[in-house]
Amino acid sequence: MKNIGKKIAAALIMVMAVSLGACAAPETTVPNEGNETPVEESVFTPGTYEGSAKGFHGDVVLTVTVNENEITEIVADHTETEGLGDNAIDEMIASAMEKDSLALDMMSGATYSSEAFLAALEMALVKAGADVEKLKVKEAGEEAVKEDITKDTEVAIIGAGGAGLSAAVSAHQNGAKVIVIEKMPNVGGNTIISGSAYNAVDEKRQAPQGIEDSIEKFYTQTYEGGDKQGDPELVRVLVENAYPTIEWLESLGMEFKDTVFTVLGALWPRSHKPVEPLGTGYINTYMNYINEHSDEIEILTETEAKELVVSEDGRVTGFIAESKNGKVTVNASKGVIVATGGFGANVEMRDQYNTIWPALTNIKTTNHKGATGDGIVMAEKINASIVQMENIQLLPMGDPETGSLSGNIEQGVENRIFVNSDGNRFVDEGERRDVMTNALMEQEDSMMWVIVDQHSYPTGDTVNNFNESIDSLVEQGRAFKADTLEELAQQIGVSPENLVKSVEAFNAAVDGATDEFGRTLFMHKIDTAPFYAGKRVPTVHHTMGGIKITPETRVVDVNGVVIPGLFAAGEVTGGIHGANRLGGNALTDVNTFGRIAGAQAAKEN
């Protein structure tokens, strides 16, 4: 709509100029002879041009129509993630048409889609004869005038991912005025691009599926699954508040599917799946609440916290941040909540702390680029205790090109196997994430194939967790499909004999034979065509170390004493999950501890 406003405005100026008989001096002129009126140099050769680039899920193809000076239409053809990549492309279309420019902001959480859009637009505009380097430069006047500002509030939150936004809603529900700052142009962080599985003991959903579960089982699996390194008190808070937080999210309008499943490395079928794709359900739920209470909850995007402010008596009273407009000082009378997420995208920091994996320098990540550990660094500077930084989680499920979880064809743990480049299984596929990733790293080229059958994809348009249909993945060459296992093996270049043997042994285990890798999680055999294969590699996923907190989410200093006024929640904290986080426990952590942090901070004097 914005572009329409601008074009109408331009038309009005033209009408006024004509009616006044005026002719504005052009900014750029072409050489002209004698007294002829200077002619404005056109930016584009009018016409319709196509550009394309590889996005998150395949090609983003743009059909761009231009007149001499303006982009008049952009039509996008793509399969980017619904609710995330597609929103980013819509926003970038509006922005490109408003500015007639390539100097556009990237959309947070949708970096690949944004980059693909820009590359495709550039390609089209090159064909339109544009000086694209000129179009990449921000227009004069577009840079805002710098002005330092100070804001006063009750609860101030750094980071607008799952933990920060749940804290914002909860703090407001508990009576506080709230400011949230976010360094990226968009809210959502890693949460919005996560697989979104949420673990909770939930009789209402589990009992009809015949699943037995208990808080004690959840506690034991979480604690022992992290090699007993997690703080028992924090694990207790996590498992006991997991379901109440689901009820709280539902009270805010969020919807979860009726059935639970076992997400990779969850060890038990208690993973809840939101109805909306990826983590968009959580973020949309919080943003709906925040938008309804925008008079009392303010969000400042593109505002990056740099340091925490501590008063003489040792209380955290606010923070200093930077935006493109200048310095932003936020004073918080009740408390500051650090919710800046992990450091999975900070290669230097990963290398600094990694002791448990081979070099991680060249391993890609599932994380968004804002996951750089800022909150940990800021808290450490004021003497906060930072714990278990070496506990970095990798998944065996990265896209070979991007490291992301997109394109993953598994649909829950029970119905798929992993085979290496020889077509042989090599691990219990229901194991802990670290065990599976270590086993994968020992295989040739650290790569494997996920094998599933029709049980996972009853139809070609059945979608995976990223809302990608299996047919589209096959079409893009990111998955392979065949009527027989032998044919599938040929397509992916593994020994047909070995693949068939691997599947037969797995099927025998489904029927009750002892599995050679000790696997216990089964549902269907892999015996019904079509059969599918998808390639996967190790990828950095979650950083379990970080700021030490109490069960009330108060930050503790290096002497074990609470730092007044300072709270932390989400991936920025350390010591909950221990050496290995169960799959599906991150969103439980982020939403549960965010909710507690908001309520606690709101109650401070």
* 341, 423, 534, 598: residue in contact with ligand ADP (rule CB under 6 A): 341
Q: Is there binding between residue 370 and ligand ADP (CB under 6 A)?
A: yes
Comparing CB distances to ligand ADP, the nearer of 416 and 595 is 595
Cross-strand pairs, 601: none
Catalytic residue among 416, 425, 432, 433: 433
- Applying CB under 6 A, the span of 68-76, 152-160, 197-205, 447-455 interacting with ligand ADP comes to 152-160
Q: Which of 53, 66, 125, 163 binds ligand ADP (CB under 6 A)?
A: 163
Among 590, 596, 597, 599, interactor with ligand ADP by CB under 6 A: 590
Distance of closest approach, residue 164 Cβ to ligand ADP, in angstroms: 6
User: DSSP assignment, residue 515?
Assistant: P
Considering only residues 248 to 307 of the shown chain, the ones binding ligand ADP according to CB under 6 A are 304-305
Q: Is residue 340 close enough to count as binding ligand ADP by CB under 6 A?
A: yes
> What DSSP string runs through 130-182?
--HHHHTSPPTTTSPPP--EEEEEEEEEE--SHHHHHHHHHHHHTT--EEEE-
Distance of closest approach, residue 248 Cβ to ligand ADP, in angstroms: 16
Q: Which of residues 173-192 bind ligand ADP (CB under 6 A)?
A: 181-184, 189-191
CA-to-CA dists, residue 6 to 22, 299, 529, angstroms: 21, 27, 55
CA–centroid distance for 282 within its chain: 12
Give the number of residues in contact with ligand ADP, rule: CB under 6 A: 26
What one-letter code names the amino acid at 559? Answer: N
Query: Nearest-CA neighbor of 338 among 302, 377, 301, 366?
Result: 377
Cβ 298 to ligand ADP shortest distance, Å: 14
CA distance 585 to 569: 14
Q: Check if the beta carbon of residue 478 is closer than 8 Å to that of residue 446.
A: no
Beta strands at 480-482 and 531-543: parallel, antiparallel or unpaired: antiparallel
506 CB contacts (<8 Å, ≥6 apart)? Answer: 417, 425, 515, 525, 526
**Cα-only R_g, the chain:** 26
Q: Does 470 help bind ligand ADP (rule: CB under 6 A)?
A: no
Kindly state the smallest distance separating residue 156's Cβ from ligand ADP, in Å.
Answer: 11
Supply the minimum distance, in Å, between the C-beta of residue 367 and ligand ADP: 7
Closest by Cα among 149, 166, 177, 148 to 335: 177
Task: Write out the DSSP string of 2-39.
Answer: HHHHHHHHHHHHHHHHHHTT--PPPSSB----TTPPPP
In whole angstroms, the minimum distance from the beta carbon of 26 to ligand ADP comes to: 42
Q: Which two tokens stand for residue 38?
A: 């200077």
- When the beta carbons of 339 and 379 are compared against ligand ADP, the nearer one is 339
Q: Which stretch binds ligand ADP (CB under 6 A): 26-34, 234-242, 334-342, 443-451?
A: 334-342
- 58, 85, 162, 430: which one contacts ligand ADP (CB under 6 A)? 162
Q: Quote the crossing angle between the two packed helices 585-603 and 162-173, to the nearest 10°.
A: 40
Choose which of 488, 492, 571, 577 interacts with ligand ADP (CB under 6 A): 571
**What length does the chain have?**
605
The residue (of 43 and 157) whose beta carbon lies closer to ligand ADP is: 157
539 belongs to the binding site for ligand ADP (CB under 6 A): no
Asked if residue 199 lies in contact with residue 588, where contact means CB atoms within 8 angstroms, the answer is yes
| Closest CB to ligand ADP among residues 570, 598 | 570
Alpha carbons 44 and 126: distance in angstroms, whole number? 9
**Stretch of residues binding ligand ADP (CB under 6 A), selected from 266-274, 397-405, 521-529, 568-576:** 568-576
Of 96, 160, 349, 488, the one binding ligand ADP by CB under 6 A: 160
158 makes contact with ligand ADP (CB under 6 A): yes
Taking the C-alpha atoms of residue 559 and residue 390, their distance in angstroms, rounded to an integer, is 21
Only one of the segments 143-151, 237-245, 338-346, 394-402 lies at the binding site for ligand ADP (rule: CB under 6 A); that segment is 338-346
Q: Is 585 helix (H, G, I), strand (E, B) or coil?
A: helix
Residue 432 in the binding site for ligand ADP (CB under 6 A): no
Q: Which residue is nearest to ligand ADP (CB)?
A: 161
Cβ 181 to ligand ADP, closest distance in Å?
5
Q: Is 401:365 a contact under the CB 8 Å cutoff?
A: no
Q: Is 236 a catalytic residue?
A: no
Which CB, 182 or 428, lies closer to ligand ADP?
Answer: 182
Give the Cα separation of 306 and 301 in Å (integer).
14
By C-beta, is 374 or 410 nearer to ligand ADP? 374
* Continuous segment of H or E residues that includes residue 304: strand 303-310
The residue within the footprint of ligand ADP, chosen from 51, 161, 396, 407 (CB under 6 A), is 161
- Closer Cβ to ligand ADP, 375 or 423, answer by number: 375
Q: In whole angstroms, how close is the CB of 309 to ligand ADP at the nearest point?
A: 14
Contact 60, 113 (CB under 8 A): yes
Q: What is the binding site for ligand ADP (CB under 6 A)?
A: 158-164, 181-184, 189-191, 304-305, 339-341, 370-371, 374, 570-572, 590
Active site residues: 433
